[in-house]
A and B are shown apart, each in its own frame.
Chain A
Amino acid sequence: MAMTLSGRLQRIRDLRSDIADLVTQEFRLKCRLSELVSQRETLELTLKAVEEYSQVLPDPPAGQSAEVKV
């Protein structure tokens, strides 16, 4: 069944709206990806700092034993 001119125009408007939504979603996803990359870098720096700190920590103190004569 042939689409009327007004129908074709409406279809075009709907497609443009869909495209606009997709562009918006793409922008949001890129922003989120950027945040995640930033968080990963922060975590990697923290992990590196913890590893360096743990290397300079002294060994845990040895147990204190006792002996008693009865």
Chain B
Amino acid sequence: MAITTAMTTSFKSEVLQALHNFLLSGGNTFKLALYTSSATLGAATTAYSATNEASGTNYSAGGSSLTRVDPTTSGTTAFTDFADLVFSTVTVTANGCLIYNSTNSNRAVSAHAFGGDVTATAGNLTIVFPTPDATNAILRIA
């Protein structure tokens, strides 16, 4: 059991089927859910599951909605981004997270390992997304 950072394989296929819309206006709702070290997440993950999801004060199953940023391009790379996500005043421990499309059957987008347990105790747990450019953006198609 482990969490491996990856864009899910199912997502790659679903993008070609127009099952995900990241536009700020009118796009789908994407959520980020936290998971414990007991979870298995990675390229083979196809959908959100509550199994081994983190739990704690002020954290709700399913996680929280992300704020989309319009996809754009740089050179030959297309990418999109999300605003940093803050789980406010939570007491929770997480080892990784899953981004998924809650509008469209909770289809998995990407899994992210934190590299270890991250704990907030009656504080904010902030998920910081990388610089939105062609080499660092959270979701890129090169």
Using a CB–CB cutoff of 8 Å, the interface residues on chain A facing chain B are 62-70
Question: Is B127 in contact with A70, judged by CB distance below 8 angstroms?
Answer: yes
A62 proximity list for chain B (CB < 8 A): 123
A-B residue pairs, 5 tightest by C-beta: A63-B123, A65-B123, A63-B122, A64-B121, A70-B112
Please give me the residue from chain A that is nearest to B128 by CB atom.
Answer: A69
A66 proximity list for chain B (CB < 8 A): 118-120, 123-126
Q: How far is the CB of B130 from chain A (nearest CB, A)?
A: 7
Q: How far is the CB of B6 from chain A (nearest CB, A)?
A: 12
Question: What are 23 sample pairs from A and B whose C-beta atoms fall under 8 A apart?
Answer: A62-B123, A63-B89, A63-B120, A63-B121, A63-B123, A64-B120, A64-B122, A65-B124, A65-B126, A66-B118, A66-B124, A66-B125, A67-B128, A68-B94, A68-B127, A68-B128, A69-B129, A69-B130, A70-B112, A70-B114, A70-B127, A70-B128, A70-B138
Please give me the residue from chain A that is nearest to B113 by CB atom.
Answer: A70
B130 proximity list for chain A (CB < 8 A): 69-70
Cα distance A67–B127 in the bound complex, in angstroms = 6
Please give me the residue from chain A that is nearest to B99 by CB atom.
Answer: A70
Question: Is B119 in contact with A64, judged by CB distance below 8 angstroms?
Answer: yes
Q: Is B54 an interface residue (CB 8 A)?
A: no
Cα distance A66–B3 in the bound complex, in angstroms = 19
Q: How far is the CB of A60 from chain B (nearest CB, A)?
A: 9
Cα distance A64–B130 in the bound complex, in angstroms = 23
Q: How far is the CB of B33 from chain A (nearest CB, A)?
A: 13
